[in-house]
Amino acid sequence: MQQSYAIVSVEALEMYKQKFKALADTKRLHLLNVLSNKGETCVCDLTEELELPQSKLSYHLKVLMDAGLLMKETRGTWSYYSINEEEIDQLLSEQLCCVLKPSK
């Protein structure tokens, strides 16, 4: 009897790897938690909230942006960040469950 299961593409696995690497940091998780609670927030307010120098905050924001977990809108000289709800929902969805628990 042959077992049936779905093979996930290498590209999809690479995408998940990038997202989980972005999440594997306490500062970035804190940043996501702040944005989840406050909603769209100016980068100027995030430096105070997270008690991070601007250069370190920029690095963490870039990692999360590159992973597609944040969205950015520039207004004048300020950048405003918010959670990319679609990406977060996808990570928390049954789709990922197929990678980790294919028999379910």
Band of the pLDDT at 16, cuts 50, 70, 90?
confident
The pTM is what? 0.81
Domain contains 1: no
* CATH number, residue 25: 1.10.10.10
Domain contains 56: yes
Q: Can you give the residue range of the structural domain that contains 61?
A: 10-84
Contact 53, 101 (CB under 8 A): no
d(CA 31, CA 70): 10
Q: pLDDT tens digits, residue range 49-97? A: 899 999 999 999 999 999 999 999 999 999 999 999 998 888 876 666 6
Domain contains 53: yes
Determine the pLDDT at residue 56: 95
Contact 47, 55 (CB under 8 A): no
Q: How many domains does the chain divide into?
A: 1
Domain contains 15: yes
pLDDT (average), residues 13-38: 92
Domain contains 89: no
Domain contains 98: no
Q: Report the Cα–Cα distance between both ends of the chain, in Å, rounded.
A: 18
Side chain identity at 13, as an amino acid letter? L
Least confident of 8-12, 44-48, 95-99: 95-99
Residues 6+ apart with CB under 8 A from 56: 27
Domain contains 42: yes
Nearest to 64 by CA among 92, 93, 87: 87
pLDDT (average), residues 32-61: 93
Domain contains 54: yes
pLDDT (average), residues 20-29: 93
